[in-house]
Amino acid sequence: MKRKPDDKDPNRGITRRSFIRGVGVSAAAAAAASGALSSLAEAKEVKTEEMQKLTLKVNGSSHRLLVEPRWSLLFVLREKIGLTGTKVGCERGECGACTVMINGVPRYACMTLALEAEGEEITTVEGLMEGEELGTVQQAFLENDAFQCGYCTPGQIMAAEGLLRAGVPLTVGEIQKGMSGNLCRCGAYAHIFRAVEAAAKARSGK
């Protein structure tokens, strides 16, 4: 019996004609799916995050703002309030360049949402000034050459300030441990520890 051209030969598998037909159907299905996805993408409207009202108390002053929920405290301090002493570093909670104090406790501003800080007392490096005079820790860093490039210095100062405000006696080892969350790529650690020790003595009146 003679087979028709479309008949499958059990020894040869699929025929050339059925293979081509199958490829054509698959291509048509893929094209239809692609068109549907494209239409869906065009129909979907990307909306900006809804802005929210926020009041931040920074260095004793209140700031009323409209913010996106995703904005970090670091971004708002620098770009919306203009306090650029708080530095942008790694932006993932590793280097400490963005350290500020919230209710007297050092915090990474890059890892804190601005909305989280509402109603809290925020202190930046600018807030340590006493009028036109440097604060105790700032003066100690200056006198002990506790910086080189200076980029990490504001965060180092804020970490040291928080350490001193904790009010516990500080040994050199405790200072090193307390400052371990702040990195200095210049390697000025010996001077930094000396500055913190000097600031602690000055604060205690010794």
How far lies 168's CA from each of 21, 171, 204, in Å? 82, 10, 11
Global pTM reads 0.75
For a pLDDT cut of 70, what percent of the chain falls above it?
76
pLDDT exceeds 50 at position 184? yes
CA distance 43 to 68: 24
**Residue scoring higher pLDDT (33 or 169):** 169
Give the residue extent of every domain in the chain. 52-204
- Average pLDDT over all residues of the chain: 85
Q: What is the pLDDT of residue 39?
A: 47
Three-point CA angle 118, 159, 146, nearest 5°: 140
Give the lowest-confidence range in 78-82, 123-127, 200-204: 200-204
What is the mean predicted confidence (pLDDT) over 178-195? 96
The answer to whether 182 touches 155, Cβ cutoff 8 Å, is: yes
Q: Which two tokens stand for residue 155?
A: 């965060």
CATH homologous superfamily, domain 52-204: Beta-grasp domain (3.10.20.30)
Q: In b/e form, how buried is each residue of 76-102, taking b as 16+ CB within 10 angstroms?
A: bbbebbebebbbbbebeeebbbbbbbb
| Bridge pairing between strands 61-67 and 121-123 | unpaired
pLDDT exceeds 90 at position 190? yes
pLDDT exceeds 50 at position 44? no
- pLDDT-based confidence at residue 46 (cuts at 50, 70, 90): very low
CA distance 10 to 114: 71
The answer to whether 124 touches 108, Cβ cutoff 8 Å, is: no
How far lies 49's CA from each of 46, 66, 129, in Å? 9, 11, 36
The answer to whether 137 touches 195, Cβ cutoff 8 Å, is: yes
pLDDT exceeds 50 at position 37? no
